[in-house]
Amino acid sequence: MNVKLTANDGTPTAMIVGFMNMLYWVQDELLPDCTVIVFDAKGKTFRHELQNDYKAGRPPLPDDLRIQLPILQELLRRLGFRVVMIEGVEADDTAASVARLVKGEGYEAVILSSDKDLFQILGDGIRIMRPVKKGVTGAEVYDENSFVREYGFSPLSMPDYLAITGDSADNIKGVTGIGDKGAKKLLAQYPTLEAIYASLAEIPKSTRAKLESAGRDETIRRRDNMIMLRDNLFADNPGFLDECMNARIDFDGAEELALRLGLTRVLKRIGSAKKPLPREFFPSANPITPECDIITLDYKAELRDNPARFTGGVSVWDVRTGYYLLHPDEAGRNFPTIADGVNASPNPSQALETLAGNIESEIRKYDGLHSVMRELDLPLIPVLNRMEDRGVRIDPEKFTVIQNELERRILQIEDELIQATGTRINLNSSAQVSRLLFERLGFTPESKTKGKTAYSTEAAVLERLAKEENGHVPALILEHRELSKMLTGFVIPFQKAGGDDGIIHTKFEPSVTGTGRLSSRDPNLQNIPAFGEWAGKIKSALIPVNPENVFVAADYSQIELRVLAYLSKEERLIEAFEKGRDIHTETASWVFGVMPELVMPEMRRAAKMVNFGLLYGMGSFGLAERLGVSRSEAKDIITRYFDALPNIQGFIDGLVDGAKERGYARTLAGRIRPVKEIPANGPALDRALINMPVQGTAADIARRAMIDFEGSCRAELFLQVHDSLVCECNPNDAQEVSHVMREVMIHAGGEISHLEVEVKTGKSLAGV
């Protein structure tokens, strides 16, 4: 007996009910930190362009399912799930890319899908759940070991398997006459199609004939172009995961839609989620109410939505800011839940006041943290909102030219690679690149990936290979990656963000990073590379909103090294900075025992590498790799460095030991970073504890400079890139603005008196 599920208005709901039942079952089983749901986007994909009849045998989506699909997607969004659809690629490519990103961020990725194509990305940190054929509350879980037990070969060989067996669902033909058993037998002995075809003489005659009939090049082409997944779609968007984790739940909207559709189970889940905050959020019987005019849950958002509420010099206390100051590494992930709990409590105003009082009480336990909130973080929020409103304009004609040039050169590189290697591969697949370089071309691999399923093809490896005598192919791959990043990471997103008026309004996030640095998103204007031909072209196409204006940009010179000199009380460094000497030449002269005028370029380069590397905990191995010297030479350079600057060594050791003893690292102003919440351990944790006081202090100085500069002269601040501020002004005011900006930024350092600021003026970001 079939029961047709419909809403009261006749809308079919069977697919929605089944999907939500499966989703909730998985949620309860895994208790994930974040859930991303991917769908195929409308229109054709790159595979349709390569094969006209791709998926031609699939019947069209039934009308009742087609009606439910957009409703389901809207329901998921209101429930706080991240729904992703990317034009030109399939949901499998998107899911694989999300999994790669999640794994790269140190989390485990679990994919729920019945598609066998996804088996190819199985490995350390990635599991796959395949729904059972009957019911919606069961699944088989695969990791790399269970896959090998069932199939008899590595997950990396799954594309080869599908190229042999074919995929009728996608209308992809295989090798006629070789089925599941035959393919498994071949791949158990020969892990790739290349290995199979290279060993035809060893393969039984009947099987050999079938392989020869299918054709080596055609079979490999089918695997590389039609079956291999594009698994790095988010390589240039590391903030995507934070965006997913910070997705907000629209309780009222979700409840309204679930009521209309008659989704009783969804309504029950919403009701459970809307319960008041657990008691641990309100531990005080008599909470300390902050002395202020307005308590906000999210000051930045509320100021934007209702600016009239904050006029007249009112004093604000903000829960989001306070919670971030206590838990900088966890606030982005946890705050949405806290906010939802406050909003869903029986008395939201009382819950907000109590929560604020308890956070205020915790903040006052740390020396200086209350001042950081009152003097830096809260006053900065109105500044950021105004910067977002101002924005920066794109030059549409220049961006069109840049896009055309990039696309043309990318295609040219792909053709050159085909001519050089005799095969076409998916350059977006790290597995295919690894096979090409280390199996087909015979380059010597350096190390395997974390999952130990393929050799690393990261940028440092390609750079090393490109320097070899026959390094033309890795050099082309490296260039292809760079240009693809420019195209998909900047040129296309910037044009979309410009909208109809051509003005980009990025979003600045003041409460996301562990060190206090600001971040930028939608799009990220802080991430444009500083150097390079294409970076320069992109910056030249970013111009003032008012075409008659100019940009004035001021950049702190080596601020983190100057902060390190001050915090460590290393007099040699402080004196060199105060007298305006080239710090890397001076350091080289101390380390190598020569007069500054006799310092050779390679000596200065080594000193510069040590100076900056210390801020990130670099050891002898890292220095040796970057300088191209032996580890013993690198160790000797570091030893001489610390001999010349003895306070630095003691300061660094004290940072790590002191933070672990206190339980947190801190900046000069008093911003903290709890040790137990830093997502790292071992040497990586030590590096974070070294970096936090230095980078965090520099970030605090930049915040102070932004606050002090806003409104100080006839200029409009619109961009901050960590150590630099950029504003727009009338050309006639540029000299005055340059002077004011430099003075404000230097004085923002307070007791650190040896700061230096470089100021430039230009008609585009390339000029500053």
Residues 251-276: tens digit of each pLDDT: 788 888 988 888 888 888 877 655 54
Predicted confidence at residue 285, as pLDDT, reads 39
3-class SS of residue 685: helix
Among 638, 625, 624, CA closest to 592: 638
Q: How many residues does the chain have?
A: 768
Token reading at 409: 């050169």
Q: How far apart, in whole angstroms, are the C-alpha atoms of residue 700 and residue 161?
A: 55
* Domains detected in the chain: 1-151+240-274 (3.40.50.1010), 157-232 (1.10.150.20), 560-691 (1.10.150.20)
| Residues in a beta bridge with 277 | none
Residue 131: pLDDT band with limits 50, 70, 90: confident
Q: How far is CA 666 from CA 178, 516, 746, 748, in A?
A: 64, 11, 22, 18
Within 10 angstroms of residue 728's Cβ, the number of other Cβ atoms is 22
Q: How far apart, in whole angstroms, are the C-alpha atoms of residue 687 and residue 671?
A: 18
- Would you say residue 453 has pLDDT above 80? no
Among 632, 612, 611, 608, CA closest to 621: 632
Predicted confidence at residue 134, as pLDDT, reads 54
More confident of the two residues 50 and 490: 490
3-class SS of residue 317: strand
716-721 vs 724-729, strand pairing mode:
antiparallel
Residue 95 CB partners (closer than 8 Å, separation 6+): 38, 111, 113, 118
Residues 99-119: tens digit of each pLDDT: 988 887 777 899 999 888 999
Q: How far apart, in whole angstroms, are the C-alpha atoms of residue 141 and residue 126?
A: 11
Predicted confidence at residue 291, as pLDDT, reads 64
Torsion of CA 24, 28, 29, 33, to 10 degrees: 100
Predicted confidence at residue 72, as pLDDT, reads 94
Any idea which of 48-62, 148-162, 656-670 has the lowest mean pLDDT?
48-62
Give φ, ψ of 180 to 5 degrees.
Answer: -55, -55
Within 10 angstroms of residue 733's Cβ, the number of other Cβ atoms is 16
Any idea which of 89-103, 481-495, 609-623, 652-666 has the lowest mean pLDDT?
609-623
Residue 285 CB partners (closer than 8 Å, separation 6+): none
Residues 603-645: tens digit of each pLDDT: 998 888 888 887 666 777 778 877 778 888 888 988 998 899 9
More confident of the two residues 616 and 365: 365
- Would you say residue 451 has pLDDT above 50? no
Predicted confidence at residue 341, as pLDDT, reads 86
Predicted confidence at residue 125, as pLDDT, reads 82
Q: Name the DSSP letter for residue 155.
A: G
Q: Name the DSSP letter for residue 552.
A: E
- Would you say residue 396 has pLDDT above 60? yes
Residues 37-49: tens digit of each pLDDT: 999 988 888 887 7
Long-range contacts of 648-656 (CB under 8 A, 24+ apart): 648/564, 648/568, 648/570, 648/573, 648/614, 650/568, 651/564, 651/567, 651/568, 651/569, 651/570, 652/568, 652/614, 652/690, 655/689, 655/690, 655/693, 656/686, 656/689, 656/690
Predicted confidence at residue 290, as pLDDT, reads 55
Residues 51-92: tens digit of each pLDDT: 877 877 677 778 888 899 999 999 999 998 999 998 888 999
3-class SS of residue 63: helix
Token reading at 289: 């109410």
Residue 359: pLDDT band with limits 50, 70, 90: very high
Residue 750 CB partners (closer than 8 Å, separation 6+): 701, 704
Among 1, 2, 67, 12, CA closest to 263: 12
Describe the strand order of the beta sheet including 109-112 as a list of residue ranges.
109-112, 126-131, 139-142
Q: Name the DSSP letter for residue 263.
A: -
Residue 289: pLDDT band with limits 50, 70, 90: low
- Would you say residue 282 has pLDDT above 60? no
Share the mean pLDDT of the chain. Answer: 88
- Would you say residue 278 has pLDDT above 50? no
- Would you say residue 121 has pLDDT above 50? yes
3-class SS of residue 182: helix
More confident of the two residues 720 and 617: 720
Above pLDDT 90, what percent of the chain? 51
Any idea which of 165-174, 513-522, 650-659 has the lowest mean pLDDT?
165-174
**HSE, side-chain direction, 13 A CA sphere, residue 530:** 5
Residue 133: pLDDT band with limits 50, 70, 90: low
CA-based diameter of the chain, in Å?
A: 93
Above pLDDT 70, what percent of the chain? 94
User: Are the C-beta atoms of 545 and 393 separated by less than 8 Å?
Assistant: yes
Predicted confidence at residue 281, as pLDDT, reads 46
- Would you say residue 701 has pLDDT above 70? yes
